[in-house]
C-alpha cells in the first residue's frame, strides 16, 4: 500500500465569554481513504445473530454493531463501569434496590421504522425469557435470575427443557400476571427484581438484553416459548449503527451503515469521523498464516492474529503509541500489554458416562484422583511462555485479576510429576484401568480448528498424560493407552461440548458483565454454563465427597446480592476455594490484549468489556 505523508492541521479557536476564555481544538485534518469498508478475517462466524439467543463471542461482536442496549460502557477508556446511557436516558434505582425505573430516549426508531418506546422494552424482556434459552445453552440466565418471577422460568427450562409444557406454562403466567416489566408511560418503564442484584445494570448491558424491533420479531416467529426462531437466527432488526445485509454460511457475514442512525450528530461531537465506515464484513479464514499474509498485503483490514504467532509482528516494545510502535511492520498496528478479563481453561467432563455419537462409555475423569494427577502434570509455564509467548498471565481460579474477589493465593498447581504419579496410582487403585478398557484404551482430546492456542494446549494435556504413564513409578494400564488430538469445526465443537460428549474441553470465557458473579455463576453454579455440561452436580471430590451444590449455589446467590465489598470478597473466597479443591478445571491463563490491524485503521480503543465498535472507526491514506 502506498505510503503518503499525512498532514495534520490543528485549528485553535479562542472564545471569550462571561466565564472567561477557553480553547476548542478542532480535529486534525486527515486524508480519508477512498475505501471506507472493513474486512475482518476471523476464525469463526456467529452461531446465530439473534442476540437474545446467541452466546459466543463471534455473535456478540456482530450484535455490538447492529443492536443496542439500555446502557453501555464508556467509548474511549478501559473503564468497565456501564455508565453510559444508550437507549435509556437515565435510570432511578429504588432504595431497596428492587425497582429500576428507566427513562428512555425519544425519537429513536428500529431499522424497520418501528418506534422505540417503553412497550418495545417490555416486549423485548418478555421475549428474552420466552426465546432466549437455546435448549438451555443461551444467555438468558443473566436476565431471568434477578427479574421478579424469572427464576421459575429458568428452573422449568433446566429441569424440563426449553419449550417444555412447564416452560410454556411458567412463562405464560409470568408474562400475564407478574408485573415484572411495567410500562409507566410511553418513555418510562419499571423493571422489578426478585431481590437486590448488584450487577443488574452490567448484566443487561450484555447483548442478551439488546433491543430488537418487536414488530419484526412478532412477524418472524414471536416471543413465547412456543414460537420459532428460524428467521431471527440469521436476520436482524435493531437500532444500531449497522444494518444486516447478508450471511453466506461458513464464508462471510456483512453489515452496512445505517444512514439514519439516531446517534450520528451526538457521535460526531466526540468522534468527528463517526459513520465513515460504510460496510463491515466478517470473513471466515481458519488459516493463521493466510490471515497474517492477507493483512500485511492490505487485502484485509483486521484479523484474528493470535498470541501464538505474536512475534511474527510484535517487536516487544512496551510503548503502545499509536499502534505502530509495537509492530515490526510499519503498515500494521499492534496493541498489547494490557490485561483483559478473558480467561482460558480446561474443563473436565465429570459425568459418569460419555456419549460418543451413540456409543456410551464410562468417563475416566469422574475420578478426582485422575483430575488431580492431570492438574499436577500439566505444564503451566509452557502454556504461558511457549504457547502464549508470555502474552498472558496465570489464572488464579475463575475470577481474573482486576475484578473484586481475585485471589492470587489460588494460582495454578506447580507442575510436579511425582505428585501426579501418586494420584494416578490412586486412580488406578480406584478402578481406572477398567474404565480405560471400556474406552478401548483410547483418550481423545479435541479443540476448535483454527485456534492455535487451544491446539497447543491440547497437545500439552496429551503430553501431561504421556509423561505420567512413562514415569517408572506409575502403574501401567493393562493395554497401551492411545492419546490423540483432533480439531473440530466450531459449530461441531460447540455442539459436542454442550451435549457432554467430550471428556475434556478447552474454551475461553469473555465476560458478559464485569462482576465476579459472571464467573462464579458460569463456572461454579450447578446450573451454570460449564458446570451443567461438566456434570458438577453429583460429581465427587477428594475421598468421594459429593459436590454440595445447594451450599455453593447459596454462596453464589449471596455474593450477587452483597453490596459491601469486603463481605462480598469473603463470600467469593469460599466459592473459589471450593471449586479449586474439586479440581473440575485446569485453570489456564488470563489473556492480555493482542490487537492487530492495518496501519490505515483509526478508532481502536481498548476496553475489557467492549469489542471493536466500528461506527467510530475510519480509514486513512498512509
Q: Check pLDDT > 70 for residue 410.
A: yes
Q: Check pLDDT > 50 for residue 10.
A: no
- Please list, in sequence order, all residues whose beta carbon lies within 8 angstroms of the beta carbon of residue 574, skipping any fewer than 6 positions away: 555
Residue 16: pLDDT band (50, 70, 90) is: very low
Task: Name which of 457, 465, 371, 369 is nearest 417 in CA terms.
Answer: 465
Q: Among 13-17, 184-188, 355-359, 544-548, which stretch is predicted with the lowest mean pLDDT?
A: 13-17
Question: Distance (Å, rounded) from C-alpha 396 to C-alpha 577?
Answer: 10
The fraction of the chain above a pLDDT of 90, given in percent, is: 85
Structural fold of domain 41-247:
D-Maltodextrin-Binding Protein; domain 2 (3.40.190)
Residue 136: pLDDT band (50, 70, 90) is: confident
pLDDT of residue 24: 43
Mean pLDDT of 134-145: 92
**Which three cell numbers, joined as nine digits, stand for 497?**
461440548
**Which three cell numbers, joined as nine digits, stand for 213?**
424491533
pLDDT of residue 7: 37
Which stretches within 430-516 are classed as H helix?
Answer: 432-438, 452-470, 490-498
Q: Where are the domains positioned within the chain? A: 41-247, 340-592
Question: Distance (Å, rounded) from C-alpha 511 to C-alpha 607?
Answer: 12
Residue 26: pLDDT band (50, 70, 90) is: low
**Cα separations (Å) of 49 from 117, 140, 451, 490, 611?**
23, 15, 22, 16, 16
Contact status, residue 266 vs residue 615, Cβ threshold 8 Å: no
pLDDT of residue 536: 96
Mean pLDDT of 184-188: 98
Q: Check pLDDT > 90 for residue 563.
A: no
Q: What pLDDT digit, counting tens, does each position of 369-401 carry?
A: 999 999 999 999 999 999 999 999 999 899 999
- The 3-class secondary structure across 527-545, one letter per residue, is CCHHHHHHCCCCCECHHHC
122 or 8, greater pLDDT = 122
- E strand map for 18-93: 20-25, 37-42, 71-72, 84-85, 88-93
pLDDT of residue 48: 94
If residue 572 lies in a helix (H) or strand (E), which one and from where to where?
helix 565-582
Contact status, residue 146 vs residue 194, Cβ threshold 8 Å: yes
Mean pLDDT of 587-605: 96
Q: What pLDDT digit, counting tens, does each position of 50-81 carry?
A: 999 999 989 999 999 999 999 999 999 999 99
416 phi-psi bin (left φ>0, alpha ψ -120 to 50, beta other): beta
pLDDT of residue 25: 43
pLDDT of residue 412: 75
Structural fold of domain 340-592:
Dipeptide-binding Protein; domain 3 (3.10.105)
DSSP-assigned letters across all residues of 130-187? HH--GGGTSSTHHHHTTBTTHHHHHHHHHHH-TT-HHHHHHHHHHHHH---EEEEETT
Contact status, residue 198 vs residue 205, Cβ threshold 8 Å: no
Q: Check pLDDT > 80 for residue 155.
A: yes
Q: Check pLDDT > 50 for residue 23.
A: no
Mean pLDDT of 94-116: 97
Q: How confident is the prediction for the chain on average, in pLDDT?
A: 92
pLDDT of residue 18: 33
User: How many CB atoms are located within 10 Å of the residue 264 CB?
Assistant: 15
- Please list, in sequence order, all residues whose beta carbon lies within 8 angstroms of the beta carbon of residue 598, skipping any fewer than 6 positions away: 1, 295, 298, 300, 301, 302, 331, 332, 333, 619
**Which three cell numbers, joined as nine digits, stand for 56?**
459466543
Contact status, residue 302 vs residue 612, Cβ threshold 8 Å: yes
Q: What pLDDT digit, counting tens, does each position of 210-235 carry?
A: 999 999 999 999 999 999 989 999 99
Mean pLDDT of 112-123: 98
**Adjacency order of strands within the sheet including 99-104:** 88-93, 99-104, 188-192, 181-185
Q: From the centroid of its chain, how far is CA 239?
A: 22
397 phi-psi bin (left φ>0, alpha ψ -120 to 50, beta other): left
Residue 28: pLDDT band (50, 70, 90) is: low
DSSP-assigned letters across all residues of 389-434? TT-EEE--TTSPTTSTT--GGGPPPPP-HHHHHHHHHHHHHTTHHH
Q: What pLDDT digit, counting tens, does each position of 529-543 carry?
A: 889 889 999 999 999
**Which three cell numbers, joined as nine digits, stand for 73?**
460502557
Q: What pLDDT digit, counting tens, does each position of 276-313 carry?
A: 999 999 999 999 999 999 999 999 999 999 998 999 99
Contact status, residue 540 vs residue 547, Cβ threshold 8 Å: yes
Q: Check pLDDT > 70 for residue 13.
A: no
421 or 410, greater pLDDT = 421
The answer to whether the 41-247 and 340-592 domains have the same CATH topology is no
In the DSSP assignment, the letter for residue 202 is H
Question: Distance (Å, rounded) from C-alpha 512 to C-alpha 521?
Answer: 11
DSSP-assigned letters across all residues of 333-392? EEEEEEEEEEEEEEEE--SSEEEETTEEEE-GGG-HHHHHHHHHHS-HHHIIIIISTT-E
Contact status, residue 49 vs residue 59, Cβ threshold 8 Å: yes
Residue 362: pLDDT band (50, 70, 90) is: very high
Contact status, residue 452 vs residue 288, Cβ threshold 8 Å: yes
Question: Distance (Å, rounded) from C-alpha 39 to C-alpha 546?
Answer: 50
Amino acid at each position: 500500500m502506498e505510503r503518503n505523508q499525512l498532514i495534520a492541521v490543528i485549528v485553535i479557536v479562542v472564545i471569550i465569554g462571561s466565564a472567561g476564555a477557553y480553547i476548542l481544538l478542532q480535529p486534525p485534518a486527515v486524508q480519508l481513504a477512498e475505501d471506507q469498508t472493513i474486512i475482518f478475517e476471523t476464525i469463526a462466524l456467529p452461531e446465530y445473530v439473534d442476540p437474545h439467543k446467541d452466546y459466543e463471542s463471534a455473535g456478540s461482536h456482530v450484535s455490538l454493531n447492529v443492536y443496542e442496549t439500555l446502557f453501555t460502557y464508556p467509548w474511549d477508556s478501559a473503564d468497565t463501569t456501564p455508565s453510559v446511557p444508550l437507549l435509556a436516558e437515565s435510570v432511578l434505582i429504588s432504595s431497596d434496590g428492587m425497582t429500576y425505573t428507566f427513562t428512555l430516549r425519544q425519537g429513536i426508531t428500529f431499522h424497520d421504522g418501528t418506534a422505540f418506546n417503553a412497550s418495545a422494552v417490555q416486549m423485548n424482556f418478555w421475549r428474552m425469557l420466552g426465546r432466549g434459552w437455546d435448549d438451555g445453552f443461551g444467555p438468558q440466565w443473566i436476565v431471568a435470575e434477578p427479574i421478579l418471577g424469572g427464576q421459575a422460568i429458568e428452573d422449568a427450562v433446566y429441569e424440563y427443557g426449553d419449550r417444555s409444557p412447564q416452560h410454556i406454562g411458567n412463562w405464560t403466567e409470568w408474562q400475564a400476571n407478574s408485573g415484572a416489566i411495567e410500562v409507566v408511560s410511553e418513555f418510562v418503564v419499571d423493571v422489578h427484581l426478585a431481590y437486590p442484584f448488584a450487577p443488574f445494570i452490567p448484566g443487561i448491558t450484555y447483548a442478551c438484553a439488546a433491543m430488537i424491533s418487536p414488530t419484526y420479531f412478532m412477524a418472524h416467529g414471536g416471543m413465547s416459548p412456543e414460537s420459532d426462531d428460524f428467521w431471527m437466527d440469521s436476520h436482524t432488526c435493531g437500532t444500531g449503527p449497522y444494518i444486516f445485509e447478508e450471511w453466506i454460511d461458513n464464508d462471510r457475514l456483512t453489515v452496512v451503515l445505517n444512514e439514519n442512525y439516531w446517534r450520528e450528530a451526538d457521535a460526531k461531537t466526540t468522534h468527528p469521523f463517526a459513520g465513515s465506515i460504510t460496510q463491515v464484513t466478517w470473513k471466515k479464514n481458519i488459516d493463521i498464516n493466510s490471515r497474517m499474509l492477507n493483512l500485511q498485503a492490505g487485502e484485509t483490514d483486521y484479523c484474528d492474529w493470535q498470541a501464538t504467532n505474536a512475534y511474527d509482528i510484535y517487536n516487544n516494545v512496551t510503548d503502545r503509541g499509536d499502534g505502530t510502535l509495537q509492530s515490526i511492520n510499519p503498515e500494521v498496528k499492534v496493541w498489547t500489554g494490557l490485561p483483559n478479563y478473558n480467561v482460558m481453561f480446561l474443563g473436565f467432563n465429570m459425568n459418569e458416562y460419555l456419549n460418543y455419537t451413540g456409543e456410551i462409555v464410562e468417563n475416566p475423569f469422574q475420578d478426582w484422583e485422575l483430575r488431580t494427577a492431570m492438574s499436577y502434570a500439566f505444564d503451566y509455564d509452557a502454556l504461558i511462555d511457549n504457547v502464549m509467548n508470555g502474552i498472558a498471565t496465570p489464572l488464579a481460579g475463575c475470577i481474573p485479576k482486576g475484578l473484586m474477589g481475585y485471589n492470587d493465593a489460588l494460582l495454578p498447581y506447580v507442575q510436579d510429576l511425582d505428585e501426579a504419579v501418586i494420584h494416578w496410582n490412586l486412580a488406578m487403585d480406584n478402578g481406572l484401568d477398567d474404565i480405560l478398557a471400556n474406552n478401548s484404551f483410547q483418550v481423545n482430546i479435541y479443540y476448535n480448528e483454527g485456534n492455535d492456542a487451544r491446539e497447543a494446549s491440547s497437545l500439552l494435556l496429551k503430553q501431561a498424560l504421556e509423561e505420567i504413564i512413562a514415569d517408572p513409578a506409575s502403574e501401567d494400564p493393562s493395554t497401551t493407552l492411545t492419546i490423540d488430538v483432533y480439531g473440530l469445526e466450531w459449530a461441531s465443537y460447540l455442539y459436542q461440548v454442550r451435549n457432554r460428549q467430550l471428556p475434556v474441553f478447552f474454551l475461553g470465557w469473555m465476560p458478559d458483565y464485569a462482576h465476579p458473579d459472571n464467573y462464579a455463576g458460569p463456572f461454579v453454579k450447578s446450573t451454570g454454563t460449564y458446570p451443567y455440561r461438566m456434570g458438577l452436580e453429583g460429581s465427587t471430590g477428594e475421598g468421594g465427597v459429593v459436590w454440595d451444590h445447594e451450599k455453593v449455589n447459596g454462596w453464589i446467590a449471596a455474593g450477587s446480592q452483597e453490596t459491601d465489598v469486603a463481605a462480598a470478597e469473603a463470600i467469593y473466597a469460599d466459592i473459589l476455594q471450593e471449586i479449586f479443591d474439586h479440581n473440575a478445571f485446569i485453570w489456564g491463563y488470563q489473556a492480555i490484549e493482542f490487537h492487530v490491524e492495518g496501519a490505515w485503521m483509526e478508532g481502536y480503543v481498548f476496553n475489557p468489556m467492549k469489542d471493536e465498535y466500528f461506527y467510530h472507526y475510519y480509514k486513512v491514506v498512509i
